[in-house]
Structure 1
Amino acid sequence: MSLKRLWIFMPEETDDSEEYDMFITRTISGAILLILIIGAILFGGPVWLVLLGLLSIMALYEMLKTLKLDKTAFAWVAYFACLLLYGILWSSRFELVLLVLIVYFIAIMTIYVIKWPSYEVTDISKALFSFFYAAFILSFMYQIRMMDNGIYYMWLVFISAWGSDTCAYLVGILIGKHKVPSTLSPKKTIEGCIGGVVGAGIIGFVYGNILSDIILGIVFASICMTGSIISQIGDLAASAVKRNMDIKDYGKIIPGHGGIMDRFDSIIFVTPIIYAILYVMKSFDIVITLM
């Protein structure tokens, strides 16, 4: 593969038109998704809230279906809890967010008791896991956006996840030789993983330096490198669930990419970590000065 074709993400010349068609499909659907996300982040407020709410509901449905709970009473309670969660976020009562988890737990335990012995204890674990993993964690993207300077912090999430993934892919293609010691993703290489971390750090440094100065660049680089490590774990974690349930993709709603969970698996892991870092910095009066 030539460098020219690599850097514009073009596949190698092949007689198999199906592979090329898939590339075009992935590119178009990915571009549309990216435009929607960028637009919603820039608008913020209700626009970003509604988009995140829709993404959370769809991700929740995919996870419930994967774990074979989509046609149970647990699913309807999970959807209601998701709507309640975003209603609380809309009211800016962030201190009440944890109560959603408590109410959800009590609700599914009530169903478990009423319907006993229709459900197993493992079904409760799956219901809790689905809501927390696919819906609750994703909601932290709204909380980051609503922080002071949140519109700038949001891009740290995408640099850590999608930026890191792109860098890992490029480095893996160019110099990747040593496979990661995991059967979850046989195509991943150690060089690619390291390249993802370093690449995210470089992008974060440039981003911070553009916004303010070299100090902010170093801070953002550190955050993005940490986020990159977490995002790669998130990617493998999502793959592990799919392997356990013997499926290829979580869904088909994004042509060429799969489902929401397939596209946002690393985002889901990165978001709460970056939120926690920013929250701790704020708690210790570590001020990030922009512009």
Structure 2
Amino acid sequence: MKARIITSVILLPLIIFLLWYGKLPLIIVLCGATIIGLHEFFNAVKLENQGLRGMAFLLVVLTYGFFWMGDYTYLNLSVLIFIAFSLGVYVFKYPKITLEQLGFLAFGMIYILYLLLHIALVRETTPDGIWSVWLIFIIAFGSDSAAYFVGVNFGKHKMVPKLSPKKTIEGAVGGVLGAGILCTAFGVAMQQYGFVDTWVTLPMYFIIGIFGSVASQIGDLVGSAMKRQTQIKDFGTIIPGHGGILDRLDSILFTAPYVYIIVTMLY
């Protein structure tokens, strides 16, 4: 617990700076986090082929590089490059490369690279992105904290015991309400101080938080399911007290695309 608290205290200022400043520092950190997350995932599913791993890491750098260039149509090019290279490797390395390995490779790229990229998309491409990007973390961390508090103190009915024995229905409801309340408070601050246009009413902020919490909790359960199936406790140990990158980002991976879609639709 002590290591967890110390790590959180150290990381919080870094997260605040990255979200506030955005631009190249945010892109570099997201690129690094994506590569580490893919490394953890490939270890979990035992994808040991170094050629496929290297190709995946190179594609991550290319994708964030295309994003930094500012022409977002290039992001489609990264997908085409990935498909062409992966199928080419499959053909020329057959039968050393299997369809199962390609499946793990493709899933990892979609699940980690293309979902995590939405943090940068919200921050850099949406109106008032400097403020909207906070919704991702308010929803994910707020939902997780509220669910934990309610679950520990009031939880009685197990939600998905086969995946996560400690999660309860009461905790899940608490997470939903907690995220809704925190998003509403965020909306009050945004409108009170004129940081953003009143493009979202306060009830809408509450609804955004509620559905965002559902996305966040599904992401958390997906991470739990993968750890159960691969029979690991944590994806890694790079973050003291928290485990690996994926152990911290599983809920954010689902929340980031959700916020991007909502913000894009409402503007």
Structure 2 distance, partners of 1:39, 1:86, is: 19
Structure 2 distance, partners of 1:134, 1:70, is: 18
Residue in 2 aligned with 1:285?
A: none
| Residue 49 (structure 1) shift | 1.1
| Residue 151 (structure 1) shift | 1.3
Tell me, yes or no, if structure 1 residue 61 matches structure 2 residue 46: no
Larger radius of gyration: 1
Task: Classify 1:225/1:106 alpha carbon distance in 2 versus 1 (closer, same or farther; 3 Å).
Answer: same
| Residue 70 (structure 1) shift | 4.2
Tell me, yes or no, if structure 1 residue 234 matches structure 2 residue 213: no
Tell me the percent identity: 38
Q: Pairwise CA RMSD of aligned residues?
A: 1.4
Superposed counterparts of 1:168-207, under 5 Å: 168-207=147-186
Residue in 1 aligned with 2:187?
A: 208
Residue 34 of structure 2 contacts residue 60 of structure 2 at CA under 8 Å; is this kept in 1? yes
Residue in 1 aligned with 2:65?
A: 87
- Equivalent of residue 222 in structure 1, options 183, 188, 207: 207
Letter in 1 for 2:240: P
Structure 1 unaligned regions, length at least 5: 1-22, 283-291
Structure 2 distance, partners of 1:99, 1:197, is: 37
Structure 2 unaligned regions, length at least 5: 193-197
Residue 161 of structure 1 contacts residue 270 of structure 1 at CA under 8 Å; is this kept in 2? yes
Residue 205 of structure 1 contacts residue 220 of structure 1 at CA under 8 Å; is this kept in 2? yes
Residue 19 of structure 2 contacts residue 134 of structure 2 at CA under 8 Å; is this kept in 1? no
Residue 208 of structure 1 contacts residue 218 of structure 1 at CA under 8 Å; is this kept in 2? no
Tell me, yes or no, if structure 1 residue 258 matches structure 2 residue 223: no
Structure 1 distance, partners of 2:154, 2:112, is: 34
Partner SS state of residue 118, structure 1:
coil
Residue in 2 aligned with 1:281?
A: 266
Structure 2 distance, partners of 1:150, 1:102, is: 28
1:155-201 Cα distance to aligned partner (Å, 9 max, x none): 11012111100000111122111111441000011000000001100
Partner SS state of residue 179, structure 1:
coil
Letter in 1 for 2:168: T
| Residue 219 (structure 1) shift | 2.1
Structure 2 distance, partners of 1:70, 1:227, is: 35
Residue in 2 aligned with 1:271?
A: 256
- Equivalent of residue 140 in structure 1, options 93, 102, 118: 118
Letter in 2 for 1:221: F
Tell me, yes or no, if structure 1 residue 131 matches structure 2 residue 109: yes
Partner SS state of residue 52, structure 2:
helix
Higher relative contact order (CA 8 A, sep 6+): 2
Residue 61 of structure 1 contacts residue 70 of structure 1 at CA under 8 Å; is this kept in 2? no
Bigger Cα displacement from structure 2, 62-71 vs 235-244: 62-71
Partner SS state of residue 213, structure 2:
helix
- Equivalent of residue 157 in structure 1, options 123, 126, 136: 136
| Residue 222 (structure 1) shift | 1.4
Letter in 2 for 1:96: Y
Superposed counterparts of 1:114-129, under 5 Å: 114-129=92-107
Residue in 1 aligned with 2:195?
A: none
Residue in 2 aligned with 1:41?
A: 19
Bigger Cα displacement from structure 2, 177-186 vs 62-71: 62-71
Residue 160 of structure 2 contacts residue 167 of structure 2 at CA under 8 Å; is this kept in 1? no
The total of aligned residue pairs comes to 260
Residue in 1 aligned with 2:231?
A: 246
Bigger Cα displacement from structure 2, 119-128 vs 273-282: 273-282
Residue 25 of structure 1 contacts residue 256 of structure 1 at CA under 8 Å; is this kept in 2? yes
